[in-house]
């Protein structure tokens, strides 16, 4: 169970970093067997 908790903590830290640098877009988590195995970032750039 310790490895799962470590994976969760790492995932949360990566998500915080991604959210702090993103203005528009989406983040998708890919989960297998109750574990996050991939994080996808799709950022939009708005031209005015």
pLDDT digits (tens, 9 = 90+) for 4-31: 888 889 999 999 999 999 999 999 999 9
- Answer whether 11's CB lies under 8 Å from 19's CB: no
Q: Give the model's pLDDT for residue 48.
A: 83
Domain parsing of the chain, residue ranges: 2-43
List the one residue out of 44, 5, 46, 7 whose CA is nearest residue 29: 7
- Answer whether 46's CB lies under 8 Å from 24's CB: yes
Q: Give the model's pLDDT for residue 1.
A: 64
- Answer whether 41's CB lies under 8 Å from 18's CB: yes
Model pTM? 0.75
């Amino acid at each position: 169970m310790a490895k799962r908790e470590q994976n969760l903590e790492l995932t949360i830290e990566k998500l915080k970093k991604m959210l702090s640098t993103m203005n528009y877009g989406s983040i998708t988590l890919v989960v297998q067997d109750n574990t996050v195995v991939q994080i996808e970032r799709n950022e939009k750039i708005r031209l005015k």
